[in-house]
Amino acid sequence: MIPLSFIWDMKKRSIAFQWNGFFSLGKEREKTLVKIFGIPIPFRTKLKEVRFPIRWFYLKEGLSFISKWRLKKLEGTFSFSDPMVNGILYGWISAFGTREGDQKVNVTINFLGENGCRGEMTISLKILFHHLRRWIFPLLKEMRGRRGLRGGE
């Protein structure tokens, strides 16, 4: 399995898709980055307003797609303005805890006002292509004004 990774970092304000370290496409501090073999390639985009058609089929398939992703790593620290909420969350995390030697999830609650989260999720290419064919490409066609889904498709 050659996975596709989705990597995000709230402190750097970056988000990226990476395929096996070979190809990555992402955005960091409002700048689009494309890398092939780690070499940055100039890439410009023009953003315009996007409207998603609201249909039960797209919502159902989108939730199914999200559930197929596997968490590879999660690190985060959170703080809320109310110290009582911080205390309750700190107690919950301490009670639930993590398994011994589990380096996959590391989430903490602090009282200093620091917030940040970074992580990585993966999905197999087989599942990705299944969802692309089943609902993502028809959704994009419908958004561009072309023929969308018909009755039983």
Where do the domains of the chain lie?
A: 3-143
- pLDDT per residue over 133-153, tens digit each? 888 888 888 877 755 555 555
Give the three-class secondary structure for 66.
Answer: helix
pLDDT at 132 over 60: yes
- What is the pTM for the complete model shown? 0.61
